[in-house]
């Protein structure tokens, strides 16, 4: 799954991450002199080998997150109890938002704070900086406070990406260890863990770390 592309990076949000003033002055970059081509002393290769070498495509350098090879996330099999399983999963979470892009913003908050989340200006700056509109995400509150299960989220809604703000997550699928600001693939779903939004607003170092993690996934 290719990463989402940001058409317009929100400059107000980026100011949260970069505190220094950066200047680019024309002419400051030194030109690198070109070197003469190396002279080969090896005998010429046969015609068929030269032709194969000339037509061999170059190998592209891939980003491990945005250009990862598709790995299909196992789908939960359908059964007569599927509707009951979905209903049970939905009971664990409050869900808001249109979720047009399948981006899950996972939190664990009191009801009154969660209800204000779609209007939270700081969160909207984060989403805008990675090219997301409010309609592109689902705001999911793990209202029980227990560890959320990836499989439960899949039952309840479309999950293409997860950004977790201080909300625990687990899964039966194989994955790297979940750590703050280190994107981890669960099947074909990138997961980013962050500190709580309330902490990020006042901590510049954590803002920078979150920005670096989001760049790996979305930009």
Question: At 133, which CATH number?
Answer: 3.40.470.10
Flag whether 106 is in a domain.
yes
Residue 179 pLDDT grade (very low, low, confident, very high; cuts 50, 70, 90)? very high
Cβ(181)–Cβ(209) under 8 Å? Answer: yes
Domain range for 168 is 92-218
For residue 140, pLDDT over 50 is answered with yes
In this prediction, residues 206-216 reach a mean pLDDT of 97
**Domain contains 36:** no
State the total domains in the chain.
1
- CA distance between the termini of the chain: 13
Mean of pLDDT over the chain? 78
Residue 26: which pLDDT band, with cuts at 50, 70 and 90?
low
Is residue 34, in this structure, part of any structural domain at all? no
Looking at residue 150, what is its pLDDT?
A: 97
Residue 81 lies in a domain: no
Q: Are 197 and 123 in contact (CB under 8 A)?
A: yes
Neighbours of 65 (CB within 10 A): 18
CA trace torsion 28, 219, 128, 185 (10° rounding): -140
Q: Would you say residue 132 lies in a domain?
A: yes
What pLDDT score does 87 carry? 72
Which pLDDT belongs to residue 47? 55
Q: pTM (2 decimals)?
A: 0.67
Residue 57: pLDDT band (50, 70, 90) is very low
Instruction: Tell me whether residue 110 is in a domain.
Output: yes
Q: By three-state DSSP, how is residue 163 classified?
A: strand
Confidence at residue 17, expressed as pLDDT on a 0 to 100 scale: 52
Within a domain: 174: yes
Spatial CB neighbours of 186, under 8 Å, sequence gap ≥ 6: 73, 150, 162, 171, 173, 175
The arithmetic mean of pLDDT across residues 77-96, rounded, is 73
């Amino acid at each position: 799954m290719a990463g989402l592309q940001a058409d317009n990076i929100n400059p107000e949000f980026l100011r949260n991450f970069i505190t220094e003033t950066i200047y680019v002055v024309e002419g400051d970059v030194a030109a690198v002199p070109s070197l003469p081509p190396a002279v080969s002393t090896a005998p010429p290769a046969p015609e068929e080998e030269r032709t194969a070498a000339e037509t061999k495509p170059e190998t592209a350098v891939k980003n491990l997150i945005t250009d990862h090879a598709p790995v299909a996330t196992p789908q939960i099999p359908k059964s007569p109890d599927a509707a009951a399983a979905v209903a049970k999963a939905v009971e664990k979470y409050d869900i808001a938002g249109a979720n047009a892009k399948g981006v899950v913003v996972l939190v664990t908050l009191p009801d009154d704070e969660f209800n204000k989340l779609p209007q939270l200006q700081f969160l909207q700056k984060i989403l805008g900086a990675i090219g997301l509109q409010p309609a592109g995400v689902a705001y999911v509150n793990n209202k029980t406070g227990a560890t959320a299960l990836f499989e439960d989220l899949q039952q309840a809604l479309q999950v293409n990406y997860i950004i977790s703000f201080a909300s625990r997550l687990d899964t039966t699928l194989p994955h790297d260890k979940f750590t703050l600001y280190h994107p981890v693939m669960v099947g074909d779903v990138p997961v980013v863990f962050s500190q709580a939004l309330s902490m990020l607003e006042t901590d510049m170092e954590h803002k920078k770390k979150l920005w670096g993690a989001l760049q790996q996934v979305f930009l």
